[in-house]
Structure 1
Amino acid sequence: MSRAPTITKGQQIIELLEAYGVDTVFGIPGVHTLELYRGLAASNIQHITPRHEQGAGFMADGYARITAKPGVCFVITGPGLTNIATAMGQALGDSIPMLVISTVNAAGTEAQGCLHAMPQQADVIRPLTVASFQLNANDSVTETLAQVFAALEARNGTQLGPVHLQIPLDVIGQLAGDETANGVKQPVKRHDQLTEECTKALNQIQNAANVINQHSQIVILAGGGAVNAQHQVKQLAKTLDAPVVTTINGRGLLANHPLSVPASPSLEATRSLLAQADCVIALGTEMGQTDYDMYVNGGFPLLKNLIRIDINPSVIQATEQLGIHCDVSQGLTRLLPLLAPKQPSTSLGEARARTTRQEAFTELPKPYQQHHSFLTAITKALPEVIIVGDSTQPAYGGNCYFDAPAAKTWFNSATGFGTLGYAVPAAIGAALGRRLQHNNQPIIALTGDGGLQFCLAELATAKDWELPIIFMVWNNQGYGEIESSMLAVGITPIGVSPKPPSIDALAQAYGINHARLTSFTALADLLQQAADNQTPMLLEINEALMMDQIEPTIPF
Structure 2
Amino acid sequence: MLSPFCLGEAKPAPMLVTDHLLDLCEAHGCKALFGIPDPQFFALFDAAHARGWQVVAPHHEAAGGFMAEGWARITGKPALCVASLGPGMANLAPAVAHARAEGGKVLFLGGRRAGMSKAQTGRFQHAEHFPAMAQHAGWSAQASNGVGAVAAVEAALHGMACGQICAAFIELEPQALAGEVIWPYGAPVQAGMPDLAPALALIAQAQSPIILAGHGVHTAPAGEALRDLAQKLACPVVQTPSAMAVVEGLESVSFPYGFSPVTRAVVEASDLVIALGTQLGDQLHFGQNRHWKAGREARRWIRIDRDPAMLTGADVAVPGDLAQVLPALAQACPQRQAQPQLAQWSTAHATHRADQVAAARAFPAQPIHPARLVVEACQVMPDGTILARDGGASVLFQLAYAQGAPRDVLWSQNSGHLGTGLPMAIGAMLAAPDRPALLLTGDSALLFHLAELETAARLGLPLVVAVAVDHQWGLEVGMSRLNLGPSAEAGLGWSRATRFDLLAQGFGCDGTYVDDADALAPALRAAFTAALAKRRPQVLHVAIDPKANAENMPALGEFASWFAA
Q: What TM-score, normalized by structure 1, do the two folds share?
A: 0.83
Letter in 2 for 1:542: A
How many angstroms apart in 1 are the aligned matches of 2:332 and 2:263? 28
CA separation of 1:520 and 1:383: change in aligned 2, threshold 3 A: farther
Counterpart for residue 395 of structure 2: 395
Aligned partner (choices 75, 97, 118) of residue 127 of structure 2: 118
- In structure 2, C-alpha distance between the alignment counterparts of 1:116 and 1:293, rounded to whole Å: 44
Q: Cα distance, 1:320 vs. partner?
A: 3.9
Q: CA deviation at 1:62?
A: 1.0
Hey, what does 1:411 align to over in structure 2? 410
Q: How does 1:306-325 map to 2 (within 5 A)?
A: 306-316=301-311, 318-325=312-319
**What is the SS of the residue equivalent to 2:464?**
strand
Q: Larger deviation: 9-18 or 46-55?
A: 9-18
* Residues 1:165 and 1:14: Cα distance change in structure 2 (over 3 Å): same
Amino acid at match of 1:532: T
Task: Provide the rounded CA distance (Å) in 1 between the counterparts of 2:26 and 2:227.
Answer: 36
1:450 aligns with 2:444: yes
- In structure 1, distance between residues paired with 2:117 and 2:505: 46
Pick from 402, 406, 426: which aligns with 1:428?
426
1:343 aligns with 2:352: no
The Cα offsets for residues 121-155 of structure 1, whole Å up to 9 and x where unpaired, read as 21011111110011133744433221121233355
Once residues 461 and 448 of structure 1 are traced to their aligned partners in structure 2, the CA distance between those partners, rounded to angstroms, is: 20
Query: In 2, distance between residues paired with 1:21 and 1:265?
Result: 36
C-alpha separation between the residues in 1 aligned to 2:401 and 2:529?
29
Native 8 Å contact 1:305 1:321 kept in 2? yes
CA 1:355–1:404 in structure 2 vs 1: closer, same or farther (change >3 Å)?
closer
Give yes or no for contact 2:236–2:255 (8 Å, CA) kept in 1: no
Cα deviation for residue 235 of structure 1 reads 3.6
Tell me the percent identity.
23
CA distance in 2, matches of 1:372, 1:213: 42
Kindly indicate whether the alpha-carbon contact (under 8 Å) linking 1:130 and 1:151 is maintained by their aligned counterparts in 2: no
Residue number in structure 2 paired with 1:495: 491
For 1:247, the equivalent position in structure 2 comes to: 240
Please state how far the C-alpha of 1:530 moved relative to its aligned partner: 2.2
* Aligned residues of 1:32 and 1:169 also touching (Cα < 8 A): yes
The answer as to whether partners of 1:218 and 1:242 remain within 8 angstroms in 2 is yes
State the shift of 1:368 in Å.
12
Read off the aligned partner of 1:308 and give its amino acid letter. R
Residues 474 and 546, structure 2, Cα contact 8 Å, conserved in 1 = no
Distance 1:112 1:34 in 2: 27
Change (3 A) 1:478 1:453: same
Question: Partner letter of residue 253 of structure 1?
Answer: V
TM-superposed deviation, 1:400: 4.2
Q: Secondary structure, in 3 states, of the residue corresponding to 1:44?
A: coil
CA distance in 1, matches of 2:229, 2:458: 44
* Structure 1 contact 384–405 (Cα < 8 Å) conserved: no
Report the Cα distance in structure 1 between the residues aligned to 2:93 and 2:267, rounded to whole angstroms. Answer: 36
Q: Is 1:92 paired with 2:100?
A: yes
Letter in 1 for 2:111: T
Asked if the contact 1:78/1:118 (under 8 Å) is kept, the reply is yes
Tell me which residue corresponds to 1:224: 215
SS at match of 1:309: strand
Alignment match, 1:535: 536
Amino acid across the alignment from 1:395: V
- For 1:292, the aligned partner's letter is L
Shift of 1:60: 0.8
User: Paired residue for 1:171?
Assistant: 176
1:263 touches 1:402 (CA, 8 Å); kept in 2? no
Q: Secondary structure at the match of 1:466?
A: coil
Q: In structure 2, what is the Cα distance between the partners aligned to 1:19 and 1:64?
A: 15
Residue 412 of structure 1 contacts residue 422 of structure 1 at CA under 8 Å; is this kept in 2? yes
Residue in 2 that maps onto 1:485: 479
Among candidates 35, 38, 50, match of residue 30 of structure 1 = 38
Q: Is the 8 A contact 1:385 1:444 kept in 2?
A: yes
1:278-328 per-residue CA deviation (whole Å, 9 max, x = no partner) reads 111112222332x3149x986643471101122222212x24421112333
Alignment of 1:142-221 (within 5 A): 142-155=150-163, 158-159=164-165, 161-173=166-178, 175-177=179-181, 179-180=182-183, 185=185, 187-188=187-188, 193=190, 196-197=191-192, 199=193, 201=194, 203=195, 205-221=196-212
Residue 504 of structure 2, aligned match among 484, 492, 507: 507
Contact 1:142/1:185 (CA < 8 Å) preserved in 2?
no
Q: Distance in 2 between matches of 1:14 and 1:252?
A: 32
Q: Is this contact kept in 2: 1:11–1:38, CA < 8 A? A: no
Equivalent residue letter for 2:377: I
CA distance in 2 between counterparts of 1:338 and 1:172 reads 48
SS at match of 1:472: strand
Give the distance between the partners of 1:512 and 1:497, measured in 2 at CA.
Answer: 26
2:326 paired residue number: 332
CA contact (8 A) 1:309 1:324 kept: yes
CA contact (8 A) 1:61 1:96 kept: yes
C-alpha distance in structure 2 between counterparts of 1:41 and 1:340, whole Å: 49
Alignment CA distance shift 1:220-1:38 (3 Å): closer
Is structure 2 residue 62 aligned with structure 1 residue 54?
yes
1:275 and 1:151 mapped to 2: Cα distance? 38
- What is the letter of the counterpart of residue 377 of structure 1? E
CA displacement, residues 32-80 of structure 1 (integer Å, 9 cap, x when unaligned): 4334345344333231010010110111111111111112111011211
Three-state SS of the structure 2 residue aligned to 1:132 is strand
Q: Secondary structure at the match of 2:52?
A: coil
Question: SS at the partner of 2:465?
Answer: strand
Counterpart amino acid of residue 311 in structure 1: R
* 2:68 is aligned with 1:70: no
Cα distance change on mapping 1:3 and 1:505 into 2, 3 Å: farther
The two structures have a TM-score, normalised by structure 2, of 0.82
1:469 and 2:476 correspond: no
Cα pair 1:136 1:168 within 8 Å, conserved: yes
Q: Secondary structure at the match of 1:454?
A: helix
Does the C-alpha gap of structure 1 residues 90 and 82 become closer, same or farther in structure 2, counting only changes over 3 Å? same
The structural deviation recorded for 1:100 is: 0.7
- CA offset digits 1:482-531 (Å, max 9, x no partner): 11111222351221102252223312311211112233343333233222
Deviations 1:343-364 (A, max 9, x none): 33x6432324555776799899
The alpha-carbon distance between structure 1 residues 515 and 106, as it changes in their structure 2 partners (threshold 3 A), is: same
Instruction: Tell me the equivalent position of 1:281.
Output: 274
Structure 2 equivalent of residue 380 of structure 1: 379
Q: How many residues align?
A: 520
Range with greater deviation from structure 2 (138-147 or 241-250): 138-147
